[in-house]
Amino acid sequence: MAPHHFPHPIDGVRFSALGTHHAKVLLAFENANREWFRRTGEDREPDFYSHKGVRNHIAELGEDHRHGRIWPLLVFSDDGELVGRANLRRLSRDRRGGSVGYRIAEHACNQGIATQALTELMELAYRTQGFRYLTATVNVDNHASQRVLEKRGFVRVRYLYRQPTLTDAWEYRHSRSVLRHWWWKLVGDN
Ligand SMILES: CC(C)(COP(=O)(O)OP(=O)(O)OC[C@H]1O[C@@H](n2cnc3c(N)ncnc32)[C@H](O)[C@@H]1OP(=O)(O)O)[C@@H](O)C(=O)NCCC(=O)NCCS
Protein backbone atom coordinates (compact mmCIF):
# COMPACT_ATOMS: atom_id res chain seq x y z
CA MET A 1 0.00 0.00 0.00
CA ALA A 2 2.93 2.34 -0.56
CA PRO A 3 1.67 5.72 -1.79
CA HIS A 4 4.13 5.72 -4.68
CA HIS A 5 1.63 6.59 -7.41
CA PHE A 6 0.37 9.90 -6.03
CA PRO A 7 0.10 12.49 -8.77
CA HIS A 8 1.82 15.04 -6.54
CA PRO A 9 3.84 13.00 -4.05
CA ILE A 10 3.90 14.47 -0.58
CA ASP A 11 6.46 13.81 2.06
CA GLY A 12 6.36 14.34 5.75
CA VAL A 13 2.62 14.33 6.46
CA ARG A 14 2.47 13.63 10.16
CA PHE A 15 -0.35 12.11 12.22
CA SER A 16 -1.10 13.03 15.79
CA ALA A 17 -3.69 11.68 18.24
CA LEU A 18 -6.24 14.42 18.97
CA GLY A 19 -5.81 15.93 22.45
CA THR A 20 -7.11 18.84 24.53
CA HIS A 21 -4.04 20.93 23.57
CA HIS A 22 -5.29 20.92 19.95
CA ALA A 23 -8.48 22.92 20.73
CA LYS A 24 -7.28 26.25 19.33
CA VAL A 25 -5.76 24.88 16.13
CA LEU A 26 -8.74 22.58 15.56
CA LEU A 27 -11.23 25.45 15.89
CA ALA A 28 -9.20 27.50 13.39
CA PHE A 29 -9.13 24.55 10.95
CA GLU A 30 -12.87 23.88 11.22
CA ASN A 31 -13.73 27.60 10.92
CA ALA A 32 -11.48 28.10 7.90
CA ASN A 33 -13.08 25.13 6.12
CA ARG A 34 -16.63 25.47 7.43
CA GLU A 35 -18.15 26.46 4.10
CA TRP A 36 -16.14 23.77 2.26
CA PHE A 37 -17.33 21.02 4.62
CA ARG A 38 -20.90 22.37 4.45
CA ARG A 39 -20.84 22.22 0.65
CA THR A 40 -19.65 18.61 0.76
CA GLY A 41 -22.35 17.58 3.23
CA GLU A 42 -19.95 17.28 6.16
CA ASP A 43 -21.15 20.27 8.19
CA ARG A 44 -21.63 20.42 11.94
CA GLU A 45 -24.08 21.94 14.41
CA PRO A 46 -23.60 25.74 14.89
CA ASP A 47 -22.72 25.17 18.60
CA PHE A 48 -19.57 23.36 17.51
CA TYR A 49 -17.91 26.54 16.19
CA SER A 50 -16.72 28.07 19.48
CA HIS A 51 -13.92 27.36 21.97
CA LYS A 52 -16.46 25.70 24.26
CA GLY A 53 -17.96 23.68 21.41
CA VAL A 54 -14.59 22.38 20.26
CA ARG A 55 -13.42 21.62 23.81
CA ASN A 56 -16.63 19.60 24.36
CA HIS A 57 -16.08 17.82 21.05
CA ILE A 58 -12.51 16.86 22.03
CA ALA A 59 -13.67 15.75 25.49
CA GLU A 60 -16.35 13.51 23.96
CA LEU A 61 -13.88 11.96 21.52
CA GLY A 62 -11.37 11.52 24.36
CA GLU A 63 -13.95 9.65 26.42
CA ASP A 64 -14.85 7.42 23.46
CA HIS A 65 -11.15 6.82 22.83
CA ARG A 66 -10.60 5.72 26.43
CA HIS A 67 -13.37 3.16 25.93
CA GLY A 68 -11.84 1.89 22.68
CA ARG A 69 -14.65 3.23 20.50
CA ILE A 70 -12.73 5.76 18.40
CA TRP A 71 -9.19 6.74 17.35
CA PRO A 72 -9.26 10.41 16.27
CA LEU A 73 -6.19 11.59 14.33
CA LEU A 74 -5.07 14.99 13.11
CA VAL A 75 -3.03 15.34 9.93
CA PHE A 76 -0.27 17.94 9.91
CA SER A 77 1.71 19.10 6.89
CA ASP A 78 5.49 19.24 6.72
CA ASP A 79 5.50 22.77 8.06
CA GLY A 80 3.21 22.00 11.00
CA GLU A 81 -0.11 23.19 9.58
CA LEU A 82 -3.24 21.21 10.48
CA VAL A 83 -4.52 20.09 7.06
CA GLY A 84 -6.92 17.28 7.89
CA ARG A 85 -8.60 14.91 10.25
CA ALA A 86 -9.11 11.16 10.12
CA ASN A 87 -11.10 8.93 12.48
CA LEU A 88 -11.30 5.21 12.99
CA ARG A 89 -14.41 4.02 14.86
CA ARG A 90 -15.22 0.63 16.23
CA LEU A 91 -18.57 -0.67 14.97
CA SER A 92 -20.71 -1.37 18.02
CA ARG A 93 -22.70 -4.11 16.30
CA ASP A 94 -19.56 -6.11 15.53
CA ARG A 95 -16.41 -5.54 17.57
CA ARG A 96 -14.21 -6.95 14.80
CA GLY A 97 -15.17 -4.18 12.40
CA GLY A 98 -14.53 -0.46 12.14
CA SER A 99 -15.54 2.52 10.06
CA VAL A 100 -13.32 5.23 8.62
CA GLY A 101 -13.87 8.94 8.01
CA TYR A 102 -11.69 11.87 6.99
CA ARG A 103 -11.83 15.54 6.02
CA ILE A 104 -9.10 17.58 4.37
CA ALA A 105 -8.67 21.38 4.19
CA GLU A 106 -9.91 22.70 0.85
CA HIS A 107 -6.56 24.26 -0.10
CA ALA A 108 -4.72 20.97 0.63
CA CYS A 109 -6.93 18.73 -1.52
CA ASN A 110 -5.80 16.66 -4.49
CA GLN A 111 -2.29 16.12 -3.13
CA GLY A 112 -2.93 12.60 -1.86
CA ILE A 113 -3.43 13.57 1.78
CA ALA A 114 -6.77 11.76 2.28
CA THR A 115 -5.32 8.67 0.64
CA GLN A 116 -2.37 8.82 3.00
CA ALA A 117 -4.71 9.34 5.96
CA LEU A 118 -6.80 6.34 4.91
CA THR A 119 -3.64 4.25 4.65
CA GLU A 120 -2.75 5.27 8.21
CA LEU A 121 -6.26 4.32 9.44
CA MET A 122 -5.99 0.93 7.72
CA GLU A 123 -2.63 0.26 9.38
CA LEU A 124 -4.08 1.25 12.74
CA ALA A 125 -7.19 -0.90 12.23
CA TYR A 126 -5.55 -4.05 10.94
CA ARG A 127 -2.10 -4.07 12.50
CA THR A 128 -2.66 -2.38 15.83
CA GLN A 129 -6.32 -2.97 16.69
CA GLY A 130 -6.78 -6.35 15.00
CA PHE A 131 -9.91 -5.41 13.09
CA ARG A 132 -11.00 -7.75 10.31
CA TYR A 133 -12.88 -5.33 8.09
CA LEU A 134 -13.61 -1.66 7.56
CA THR A 135 -16.62 0.22 6.23
CA ALA A 136 -17.18 3.75 4.95
CA THR A 137 -20.31 5.63 3.96
CA VAL A 138 -19.94 8.21 1.20
CA ASN A 139 -22.54 10.48 -0.36
CA VAL A 140 -23.28 9.45 -3.95
CA ASP A 141 -22.07 12.81 -5.27
CA ASN A 142 -18.77 12.75 -3.34
CA HIS A 143 -16.66 11.36 -6.17
CA ALA A 144 -13.33 12.44 -4.67
CA SER A 145 -13.95 10.45 -1.49
CA GLN A 146 -15.15 7.44 -3.50
CA ARG A 147 -11.93 7.62 -5.49
CA VAL A 148 -9.86 7.71 -2.28
CA LEU A 149 -11.56 4.54 -1.01
CA GLU A 150 -11.25 2.76 -4.35
CA LYS A 151 -7.53 3.63 -4.58
CA ARG A 152 -7.08 1.75 -1.31
CA GLY A 153 -9.12 -1.26 -2.41
CA PHE A 154 -12.49 -0.57 -0.78
CA VAL A 155 -15.46 -1.91 -2.76
CA ARG A 156 -19.07 -0.73 -2.97
CA VAL A 157 -21.45 -3.12 -1.27
CA ARG A 158 -24.71 -1.28 -0.77
CA TYR A 159 -26.71 1.74 -1.96
CA LEU A 160 -28.24 3.56 1.01
CA TYR A 161 -31.48 5.46 0.34
CA ARG A 162 -31.39 8.35 2.80
CA GLN A 163 -33.71 10.95 1.25
CA PRO A 164 -35.35 13.30 2.18
CA THR A 165 -33.12 14.44 5.04
CA LEU A 166 -29.74 13.06 3.95
CA THR A 167 -28.18 12.58 0.52
CA ASP A 168 -28.18 8.97 -0.70
CA ALA A 169 -24.88 7.23 -0.10
CA TRP A 170 -22.74 4.26 -1.01
CA GLU A 171 -21.54 1.89 1.67
CA TYR A 172 -18.00 0.68 1.01
CA ARG A 173 -16.12 -2.20 2.59
CA HIS A 174 -12.59 -3.46 2.81
CA SER A 175 -11.52 -6.71 4.39
CA ARG A 176 -8.26 -7.94 5.82
CA SER A 177 -9.27 -11.37 4.52
CA VAL A 178 -8.69 -11.79 0.81
CA LEU A 179 -11.52 -14.34 0.46
CA ARG A 180 -14.14 -12.18 2.14
CA HIS A 181 -12.93 -9.15 0.22
CA TRP A 182 -13.51 -10.91 -3.11
CA TRP A 183 -16.92 -12.14 -1.93
CA TRP A 184 -17.97 -8.53 -1.25
CA LYS A 185 -16.48 -7.43 -4.55
CA LEU A 186 -18.45 -10.05 -6.48
CA VAL A 187 -21.84 -10.03 -4.79
CA GLY A 188 -21.92 -7.33 -2.11
CA ASP A 189 -23.46 -8.34 1.20
CA ASN A 190 -27.12 -7.54 0.61
C1 LIG B 1 -12.96 13.89 -0.17
C2 LIG B 1 -11.64 14.42 0.38
C3 LIG B 1 -11.39 13.79 1.74
C4 LIG B 1 -10.49 14.05 -0.59
O5 LIG B 1 -9.28 14.49 -0.01
P6 LIG B 1 -7.93 14.64 -0.88
O7 LIG B 1 -6.80 14.84 0.05
O8 LIG B 1 -8.15 15.64 -1.94
O9 LIG B 1 -7.86 13.19 -1.55
P10 LIG B 1 -6.64 12.60 -2.39
O11 LIG B 1 -5.82 13.72 -2.94
O12 LIG B 1 -5.96 11.57 -1.57
O13 LIG B 1 -7.39 11.83 -3.57
C14 LIG B 1 -8.44 12.46 -4.27
C15 LIG B 1 -8.73 11.68 -5.55
O16 LIG B 1 -10.02 12.05 -6.03
C17 LIG B 1 -9.89 12.58 -7.33
N18 LIG B 1 -10.93 13.60 -7.47
C19 LIG B 1 -10.95 14.84 -6.97
N20 LIG B 1 -12.09 15.45 -7.30
C21 LIG B 1 -12.81 14.55 -8.03
C22 LIG B 1 -14.07 14.57 -8.66
N23 LIG B 1 -14.85 15.65 -8.61
N24 LIG B 1 -14.49 13.47 -9.32
C25 LIG B 1 -13.71 12.37 -9.40
N26 LIG B 1 -12.49 12.28 -8.81
C27 LIG B 1 -12.05 13.36 -8.14
C28 LIG B 1 -8.48 13.12 -7.40
O29 LIG B 1 -8.04 13.25 -8.75
C30 LIG B 1 -7.74 12.00 -6.65
O31 LIG B 1 -7.62 10.84 -7.42
P32 LIG B 1 -6.22 10.48 -8.19
O33 LIG B 1 -5.19 10.31 -7.13
O34 LIG B 1 -6.54 9.23 -8.92
O35 LIG B 1 -5.92 11.63 -9.09
C36 LIG B 1 -11.69 15.97 0.51
O37 LIG B 1 -12.13 16.50 -0.71
C38 LIG B 1 -12.57 16.45 1.65
O39 LIG B 1 -12.15 16.50 2.80
N40 LIG B 1 -13.82 16.82 1.33
C41 LIG B 1 -14.74 17.35 2.33
C42 LIG B 1 -15.10 16.34 3.43
C43 LIG B 1 -15.43 14.98 2.88
O44 LIG B 1 -16.06 14.86 1.86
N45 LIG B 1 -15.00 13.94 3.60
C46 LIG B 1 -15.25 12.56 3.20
C47 LIG B 1 -16.58 12.12 3.71
S48 LIG B 1 -16.89 10.42 3.24
The domain spanning residue 128 has which CATH number? 3.40.630.30
Total number of domains constituting the chain? 1
Q: What is the mean pLDDT of the chain?
A: 91
Residue 118 lies in a domain: yes
What does the pLDDT average to over 85-89?
98
Question: Is residue 9, in this structure, part of any structural domain at all?
Answer: no
Q: What is the pLDDT of residue 26?
A: 98
Among 115, 113, 120, smallest CA distance to 88 is for 120
Pocket of ligand 1 (CB under 6 A): 7, 37, 40, 42, 102-104, 109-115, 138, 142-145, 147-148
Report which DSSP code applies to 21.
G
Q: Is residue 62 situated within a structural domain? A: yes
Cα separation of the two ends of the chain: 28
Evaluate whether residue 5 is within a structural domain: no
Residue 110: φ, ψ to 5°: 60, 30
Query: Please, which residues have CB within 8 angstroms of residue 20's CB and are 6 or more apart in sequence?
Result: 55, 58, 59, 62
Q: 30, 82, 104: which to mutate for ligand 1, most atoms within 8 A of CB?
A: 104
Query: What pLDDT does residue 12 have?
Result: 74
Per-residue pLDDT at 76: 97
Residue 162 has pLDDT above 80, yes or no: yes
CA-nearest residue for atom 9, ligand 1, is 114
Ligand 1 centroid from CA 17, angstroms:
23
Which residue range forms the structural domain that includes residue 153? 14-187
Inform me whether the pLDDT recorded for 173 exceeds 70.
Answer: yes
Length of the chain: 190
122 inside domain: yes
Round to whole Å and give the CA distance between 111 and 97: 29
Whether 1 is covered by a domain: the verdict is no
